[in-house]
Amino acid sequence: MGKVTMRDIAQVMGVSVMTVSNAFNRPDQLSAELRGRILARAAKMGYTGPNAVARQLREGRTRVFGVVVTQGVERVFEDPYQVILLGGLAAELEAAGANILLVGTGHDDVDPMMRVGVDGFVGMCTTHPMAAAASRRGLPLVTTDPMDGVDGWVSIDDRQAGLAIADHVRRLGHRRVTVVVEQTVPEHPCMVVQQPDHLLDLLQVLQADGIYDVWPRTLGVLEGLEGLDVDVVCSAGSSCRAGREAAAVVMDRQDRPTAVVALSDALALGVLDALRERGVVPGRDVSVTGFDDLPDAAAGLTTIRQPIRDKGRLLGQLLLGQTGGERHIVLDHELVVRSSTGPAPR
Amino acid sequence: MGKVTMRDIAQVMGVSVMTVSNAFNRPDQLSAELRGRILARAAKMGYTGPNAVARQLREGRTRVFGVVVTQGVERVFEDPYQVILLGGLAAELEAAGANILLVGTGHDDVDPMMRVGVDGFVGMCTTHPMAAAASRRGLPLVTTDPMDGVDGWVSIDDRQAGLAIADHVRRLGHRRVTVVVEQTVPEHPCMVVQQPDHLLDLLQVLQADGIYDVWPRTLGVLEGLEGLDVDVVCSAGSSCRAGREAAAVVMDRQDRPTAVVALSDALALGVLDALRERGVVPGRDVSVTGFDDLPDAAAGLTTIRQPIRDKGRLLGQLLLGQTGGERHIVLDHELVVRSSTGPAPR
DNA sequence: TTGTAAGCGTTATCAA
DNA sequence: TTGATAACGCTTACAA
């Protein structure tokens, strides 16, 4: 029961396995009458249709693409940026009859990347170490950020975007700025306020290991703020909650900054919450900027707009081989100024 | 290239295929020296490790579970409820070394449910028609709502919860109430204001087809509001946007209700947005209720709290066969009263 | 410690 | 229209 195969049916009906197979896949290859009898009999025997895995083996492809995330699968769902991106990817793949497999980092010694049956991988942001792993599989691999040795990537010019944000803040007259950086490495403590120079050293190490991928963005921001009085706070991931925690650290110190530059909207929205809780008015008392232009940012967050959904779509097309020659795609971004930023109070 | 198999390696090295297999899977089954040579040679030949699909076929399992969604994969990501549930499920499965496959409804004539290599299915809410399809595969199937013929489900007592909401609204003195119902069938027009009786007829048909699964909740609400002046609005899905649209219809009529009962928080949050845009103060001018207690509801939405994440976790355990005998799990819910509801204005 | 044989369940090819 | 044969790439059981 449940273990019925085409062979069983063929045997019982006195036909060949091939005929049974054809009954399921190639109706035109046999008489309607025989086909009907086979299907009926198969149903009666509890046959549940051609085994998917056997078929995949035989056909040499799975119609499944793996999305690789290093922070534990469930974290993906907490980050709106990733959720939107995934939505675009899903739309594209689904239209092509392909499915998405969420691949975690594994728990024990086994590397799940090696055991999943997929036709290719998408490396989500913050997941660079998996590049090597995916390459080991010898399968197509595309990523959400520029990276060497992959078969394609889709990104914006993160460094320029970082510069644009910094420039905006500087022009508003802010001289005392806190940058909230997403810290993706669990081993390193979060929420530590550091001087930029020391932080850059750390980040550069991470970047060299391929772990820290908002490096260009961070670099652009810090470069653009050079000469000002800058602090950096590392947050635990890119979520609203993390942003709130970060803001708590910043705001409860004496010597508050007049501007907080968060490296993602998710973080920035958390910062805004924390400010309001303290009766601080964003854009007047303290300016706040984000990055991504999530839907929630429309309520008044100054940020960098990037076409997140399109990123996902294009990654899907890249994977499906639908795009022409260009496999390194740089999308446009745009500074969107809203009410969360204003002139530095004097 | 890329097509190297164990046999190739075995041939080249003059050993058996089995030895090569062992070199990769059973280090203790051969001398470290030989193993080292094999691995080195394999790498040199461009072998990328044991073929995942072949292994799955041979081992008779994939370590993958399919999450079935009927509304198109990307819609899942728009619904916070589903996202949270998925997070819990992912955490549980990942801990067991299993992965999640997002299964869409397919585009052409092919039914993806029949072609994916999985060990079982999770039927997300609003996806009942897939129950039959999943059953056709003869694989374990668990769902987020009570359903016959499945191997398990995890839910709350939706009808009681609906009654609790209605009761709360009634006690506050509201006599003119609009219920916002999630309409999941694309074929039917949305945003149509209907009298409850006619709506119930429609919903009952959908329910009979297994398409409308907040049926108990809806029934509880309408039952609890019986005798009052009740209108019903059908929204397009359960999202903030849909809620905003629904509220627009409601509020722009003369003869506004004094209370809006939305059947999900996502909808309710959209309703709140729409009210505020119109200068209407929630809880004073118009009361609003939701359902789920999403994080965003904490800002002031009266709602029903249900352990969404736990639902996902338990579904995972059910699928992995980790729960004891009980395969029909009813979780607790709780009415949470916040500022979005208040006495009916007179 | 290494090798042999026999599938896992399907589909492509080519012959009948 | 139908059937026999040979893969697809691997691993379990058992033998050497």
What lies within 8 Å, CB to CB, of B286 at 6+ separation is B251, B256, B257, B258, B259, B260, B275, B280
Pair B34, B88 in one domain:
no
The residue segments making up the domain with residue B282 are 158-307+332-336
Q: What is the CATH number of the domain that holds B11?
A: 1.10.260.40
Examine the fold and report which residue of B140, B156, B172 is the final residue of a domain before the chain moves on: B156
Pair A211, A303 in one domain:
yes
User: How many CA within 13 A on the CB side of residue A140?
Assistant: 18
Examine the fold and report which residue of A129, A156, A183 is the final residue of a domain before the chain moves on: A156
With contact defined as beta carbons under 8 Å apart, do B233 and B179 qualify?
yes
* Token pair for B225: 């509001």
A343 domain-assigned:
no
For A24-72, what is each residue's pLDDT tens digit?
Answer: 999 888 888 999 999 999 999 999 999 999 999 999 999 999 998 877 7
For A206-233, what is each residue's pLDDT tens digit?
Answer: 777 766 778 889 999 999 999 999 988 8
Task: Please give the mean pLDDT across all residues of chain B.
Answer: 87
**How buried is residue A4: exposed, middle or buried, by Cβ count under 10 Å (0-12/13-18/19+)?**
middle
Pair B148, B216 in one domain:
no
| Residue given tokens 């075995």 in the structure block | B10
Q: How far apart are CA A83 and CA A78, in angstroms?
A: 8
Residue of A nearest to B140 (CA): A2
Residue B16 CA: distances (Å) to CA of A229, A240, B6, B7, B53: 67, 56, 9, 8, 21
Q: Check CB contact under 8 Å for A57 and B57.
A: yes
What lies within 8 Å, CB to CB, of A53 at 6+ separation is A117, B53, B56, B57, B62, B117
From A132, A67, A126, A84, select the one nearest A263 (Cα to Cα).
A126
Q: How many Å from the CA of B83 to C1' of D9?
A: 37
B42 domain-assigned:
yes
What lies within 8 Å, CB to CB, of A93 at 6+ separation is A65, A99, A100, A316, A319, A320, B73
Beta bridge partner(s), residue B65? B100, B120
**pLDDT above 80 for A159:** yes
Give chain A positions within 8 Å (CB) of B74.
86-88, 90-91, 94
**B21 CB and strand D closer than 7 A:** yes
Pair A142, A83 in one domain:
yes
**pLDDT above 60 for B109:** no
Pair B172, B287 in one domain:
yes
Q: What does the pLDDT read at residue A184?
A: 64
A85 domain-assigned:
yes
| Most confident by average pLDDT, A78-87, A179-188, B125-134, B270-279 | B270-279
Q: Which residue is nearest to nucleotide D2 (CA to C1')?
A: A19
Q: Check CB contact under 8 Å for A78 and B87.
A: yes
Pair A46, A112 in one domain:
no
A191 domain-assigned:
yes
Q: How many Å from the CA of B104 to C1' of D1?
A: 36
Q: Check CB contact under 8 Å for B101 and A101.
A: yes
Pair B163, B236 in one domain:
yes
CA–chain centroid gap for A140, Å, is: 17
Q: Give me the number of domains chain A comprises.
A: 3
Pair B225, B293 in one domain:
yes
Pair B115, B209 in one domain:
no
Pair B207, B303 in one domain:
yes
From B101, B104, B135, select the one nearest B117 (Cα to Cα).
B101
Q: How far apart are CA A171 and CA B190, in angstroms?
A: 48
pLDDT class for B110, splitting at 50, 70, 90? low
Find the helix or strand (DSSP H, E) in which B130 lies: helix B129-137
A198-202, B222-226, B263-267, B334-338: the lowest-pLDDT one: A198-202
Q: How far apart are CA B102 and CA B110, in angstroms?
A: 16
The distance of B226 to chain A (nearest Cα, Å) reads 37
Pair A44, A75 in one domain:
no
From B337, B332, B342, B339, select the one nearest B160 (Cα to Cα).
B332
Q: What does the pLDDT read at residue B340?
A: 98
Among the partner-chain residues B94, B108, B138, the one whose CB lies closest to the CB of A97 is: B108
| Residue given tokens 């709106």 in the structure block | A80
Pair B164, B299 in one domain:
yes
